[in-house]
Amino acid sequence: LRHNALEPVTCQSCVGDVAAVMDLAGAEGSGGWLLESEAAELGVGRISLFQPSGCGIASGTDTRTMRLARVLFEDGARMQFWVGKVPGGQLGMPSDSTVFRILNPRGEISSRSFGAPGGCEAYARAA
């Protein structure tokens, strides 16, 4: 399960289409996403925020205010979801209705919401 390993913190790659794949690690040069910011938290993992760059973006997505958040957990799980900017330009927290996709350490992909994380509660809280 090479795709579940954490990538180096120095990674500055672009990533591919979020709706199509969970494998964001090998998509350098795809042009769909630009790394905007990244932070690591001991005991949790690393969160990266990606800005849409225009190609391969789902229709109806407001590329000025929406960011793709990707969390790489220390246990190898990956989570991704959309977050929006609130007045003042800061990114808001995901709401209960925000849907996330998760690739668990066993390689199973699921979609859940933060309000009903169904078996992914620890990941939802950490994100």
**Contacts (Cβ under 8 Å, ≥6 apart) of 90:** none
- Whether 90 and 117 have beta carbons less than 8 Å apart is answered as no
Q: Is 92 left (phi over 0), alpha (psi -120 to 50) or beta?
A: beta
Query: What is the side-by-side order of every strand in the sheet holding 33-41?
Result: 33-41, 45-52, 66-73, 78-84, 99-103, 109-113
Strand (E) or helix (H) holding 81: strand 78-84
User: What is the tens place of the pLDDT at every residue in 17-44?
Assistant: 333 334 444 333 456 788 999 999 999 9
Look at the pTM and tell me if it is higher than 0.85: no
Residue 9 clears pLDDT 90, i.e. is over it: no
Half-sphere exposure of 122 (CA within 13 A, CB side): 9
Give residue 87's pLDDT: 80
User: What is the tens place of the pLDDT at every residue in 67-119?
Assistant: 999 999 999 999 999 998 888 878 888 999 999 999 999 999 999 999 999 99
